[in-house]
Chain A
Amino acid sequence: MSEAPAETTSPETALLEIRGLQVAFGGFRAIDGVDLTVGRGELRFLIGPNGAGKTTLIDVITGLTRPTAGSVRFEGRDLAGRREHEIVRLGVGRTFQTSVVFEELTVLENLDLAASFRRPLWSLLRRGRGVSEEVAAALETIGLTPLAHSRAGVLSHGQRQWLEIGMLIVQRPRLLLLDEPVAGMASDERERTGELLTEIARDHTVIVVEHDMDFLRRYASQVTVLHEGKVLMEGSVDEVRADPHVQEIYLGRAREGAEDAVR
């Protein structure tokens, strides 16, 4: 787990710097003045109730949504106006809530496709034979080696999420954004995902959007809480859980959901 707490991150070493970010959809402000700094090697959790702006924040970083105001800098470079694939090429990778893998392709082919993204297009015309070390290692990491030649369409929900994470790893991004990686998973799958996350966080900077408090407690160190498009607080898991404000928005909002959240 990361050793570097956010507040000590100096501008030179900050990997991601978000300043004064605003996103409005029509009249609705999904993000309303967010500042966020993530340092190299961090594992940062983003939490908040539904509609807090978590996914929108990730969408802005990855170019899917255009900010209304403010800046997003990655390794000192402004991401504004860049297209999604260009941002990926700069070293930012992400997964989606509903995992999207290419069902027609095998697990191996999915990974291979992800791994080849820096090759010139022409070299893709050759028939890719064999498995690169990197892809083999990723297969091992996500535990899908036995299913390497199965079509991704037959994978379970959890396996798909892992495959997506594997596809991220082989791209060697310097920043990984995982959007609710354990949503809808059974408990053994969560466990597995948590281990995977820990392993990845060893040599990557990772931002995880997550609802699940239990998962948070077990795997998070630094947490940023978003609420109604603003940063409510930042701190360690324990600080966040102890904060009355956070408790209020989680507990006060919906009692039945809260039980689940603080469980």
Chain B
Amino acid sequence: MAISEVTVRDAELLAIDEINAAGGVLGKKLEPVVEDGASDWPTFAEKATKLIAQDKVATVFGGWTSASRKAMLPVFEKRKALLWYPVQYEGLESSPYIFYTGATTNQQIVPGLDYLKEKGKKKLFLVGSDYVFPRTANKIIKAYAAANGMEVLGEEYTPLGHTEYSTLVNKITEAKPDAVFNTLNGDSNVAFFKQLKSAGVSAEQMPVMSVSVAEEEVKGIGVDNVAGQLVAWNYYQTTDTPANQKFVAAFKAKYGADKVTSDPMEAGYNAVYLWAEAAKKAGSTDVEAVKKAAGGVSLDRPEGKVTIDGDNQHVYKTARIGVVQPDGQIKEVWNSGEPIKPDPYLKTYSWAGGLV
């Protein structure tokens, strides 16, 4: 299990512990079976099959990259089993056998753009890792820009795991955008921010809005390289809700005081609670019954109120823009006020008409 997948698993196990301590679901204790997708999509599919066919689990929580979800999707659809996917993703999907507890594009990318527009950033430069999420995100960004009087000066992709960003930084500084929209993934963020910083580009003159940099990544990038930069998520460790104080405390108690919590972890943590709530409502862990009961299930979670949208099986989430602080935490500077209805196909956005 590579890097961040581990902490999502830890958060999910914490939720299971908590639910068991409170008496379990429908009078039964939850028993976790952990399998490792090894950051390898076909392995995700193999392990999902094993969990369903051999271990006969009630439901599966997990998946990391979009590719891992796409690889597992046919397994769950064919075997009519449930997957709870906890990561923000590129939308344009609504499988009847998947619940999406992370943000879809209109709960993360669109609010991020709204924020940049509000701040008067008209010229954008798009940087992403070469895979599905950044490419789809950038398509949305370009459509948004076209409809909102913004200009996209450049769109660049680098291979996954790429670590040489001097040429890209040169391209960016030459284009002189007002802001950079960053959909780089994993280790590439470290190299990108280090090299951007040492090229003397500061967050004040050219802020970078990132959608894959959370509290955990900040540590690896080095706070001094990323402090002052913008991120778009639905949850931060600093999010001020009673449920979050409890979550952060419980997580640190279980895994160590130096651990941080982040958006995907919180979404995974939520997923377990949402499933448990739906099962209670259905009075059964049967897949079809849970699916039917899930619509409208609503809970107060660390990120605030979340509600399952019965139609597309996504979750209503509050969008939050944050700024990375010198202590490595992220401070919220803007939020959407209320949970945003998930719209994976951006059907309610007129500018997105040509996308799907």
Instruction: Check A-B contact in the complex, CB < 8 A.
Output: no
Binding site for A on B (CB under 8 A): none
Chain A residues engaging chain B, CB cutoff 8 angstroms: none
